[in-house]
Amino acid sequence: MEFKNTLTFAREQDAQDPLARYRDAFHFPKVNGKDVIYFTGNSLGLQPKRTKEYVDEVMEDWAQMAVEGHFQAEKPWWDYHERLAAPLAKVVGAKTKEISVMNTLTVNLHLLMVSFYRPTAKRFKIICEEKAFPSDQYMLQSQARFHGLNPEECIVEVKKRPGEHHWHTQDFLDKIAEVGEELALVLIGGVNYYNGQVLDMARITEAGKAAGAFVGWDLAHAVGNVALELNQWKVDFAAWCSYKYMNSGPGNASGIYVNEQYLDRTDLPRFEGWWGTRKETRFLMRPEFEPMPNADAWQLSNAPILSVAPYLASLSLFEEVGMPALIKKRDKLVAYLEFILREVDKEVSTSFEIITPKERGCQLSVFLHGEGKSLFHFLMQNGVITDWREPNVIRLAPAPFYCSFEDMFRFGTILKQGILEH
């Protein structure tokens, strides 16, 4: 398609967009009396309007039934989380039994490490990407120390090539081969938070497992953003937060995936709690743990319903639309954003450098050479909600559920004005 940097063209694309009506399904903050141009769905998604209905239902059940809401509510609390497994399985390419919802992301990664990081004198090394999200770095370092290991000796980072801003898949494969029989675990962010790169999860998983290691993925920036086939790829485990592209609200419940080969097993190390034991015997208060025959075996406590309810509300939207439709719009929307950036670049002295490679989802990370943080402040003051990373990178993530082609055009106009005025 031949793009045009005109308001008419942008509005024509919105008129032809089969998902355009979903924009009205979300609440938009306003700046100067107008809906913002929201580019930070990779940090916190907008609130679906139907979320209040789901939360209000729980609050009303609590008010009217108190403890009986666990069993008497229309959506009983004791199995509320189970309603999320099937729609999430479609989003991540898994079987329903491989999915559970609990806790928050880093908590879940620590719990999964109990099962999937089991270092020995021979196999003890972990491969991750350089400059992983800080929480992942802290988690891996503390896990190494917990096992009596030196993080500097057992954590192996795959670096970008000199002068480049993205990774090459071959470098991950080469590092896996190099570490070889010392490799215990591969744990990487599936979509890099900084440059927006989508890694080749299928090939890296295959290589890691062929080397005899467990392979897990932090999918915080991937779920609801890119196509995933966790079961088909034979990923061992994964975890993700729900408040970015999944729009569940700040700090809300995390999802986990555990491959079916590890389910309904009593010989697998795992930190265990009451809610992970079988439903049929849970209230018999038996002293022996009997794991649920699915990923719920990793649960510790009953689900935080007021956190899970917004997630269920958002998943109802994903059920209606489906990931293929979201990805189709995503690709066109991000391509138009890239076009707009390059058009503005032709008209101003600033040089834009898009550091996100062609393997991408919703996010474009852009070096604004010659510009300082004053440009970021100008954008924010003029209704463009974006994200600044030092030294001079802005991250732009137009989520297909609620961002429009007109948003992309308007952003270009504001960006050009900000550069010329600063």
Burial (CB < 10 A; 0-12, 13-18, 19+), residue 277, is: buried
What pLDDT digit, counting tens, does each position of 96-144 carry? 999 999 999 999 999 999 999 999 999 999 999 999 999 999 999 999 9
Q: How confident is the model at residue 8 (pLDDT cuts 50, 70, 90)?
A: very high
> pTM for this structure?
0.96
Task: Round the CA-based radius of gyration of the chain to a whole number and report it.
Answer: 23
- Pick the closest to residue 359 from 198, 161, 165 (CA basis): 198
- Chain-centre distance for alpha carbon 349: 35
What pLDDT digit, counting tens, does each position of 317-354 carry? 999 999 999 999 999 999 999 999 999 999 987 778 99
d(C-alpha 398, C-alpha 54), whole Å: 26
What pLDDT digit, counting tens, does each position of 18-45 carry? 999 999 999 999 999 999 999 999 999 9
Q: How confident is the model at residue 281 (pLDDT cuts 50, 70, 90)?
A: very high
Section 258-279 average pLDDT: 94
Q: How confident is the model at residue 369 (pLDDT cuts 50, 70, 90)?
A: confident
Domains of the chain: 7-35+322-421 (3.90.1150.10), 52-321 (3.40.640.10)
CB 213 within 8 A of CB 185: yes
The β-bridge relationship of strands 393-396 and 387-389 is: antiparallel
What pLDDT digit, counting tens, does each position of 55-71 carry? 999 999 999 999 999 99
Residue 368: its pLDDT value, please? 86
- Helix, strand, or coil (residue 216): strand
d(C-alpha 223, C-alpha 94), whole Å: 12
Which segments of 246-287 are extended strands (E)?
254-258
- Pick the closest to residue 304 from 99, 84, 53, 136 (CA basis): 84
What pLDDT digit, counting tens, does each position of 90-108 carry? 999 999 999 999 999 999 9
What pLDDT digit, counting tens, does each position of 184-228 carry? 999 999 999 999 999 999 999 999 999 999 999 999 999 999 999
* Alpha helix segments (H runs only) across 185-299: 201-210, 230-233, 279-282
Which segments of 173-317 are extended strands (E)?
183-189, 214-218, 237-240, 254-258
- Chain-centre distance for alpha carbon 361: 11
What pLDDT digit, counting tens, does each position of 241-255 carry? 999 999 999 999 999
Kindly tell me if the per-residue pLDDT of 154 is higher than 90. Answer: yes
Residue 390: its pLDDT value, please? 81
Taking each helix axis as running N to C, give the angle between helix 305-321 and helix 85-92, from 0 to 180 degrees, rounded to the nearest 10: 50
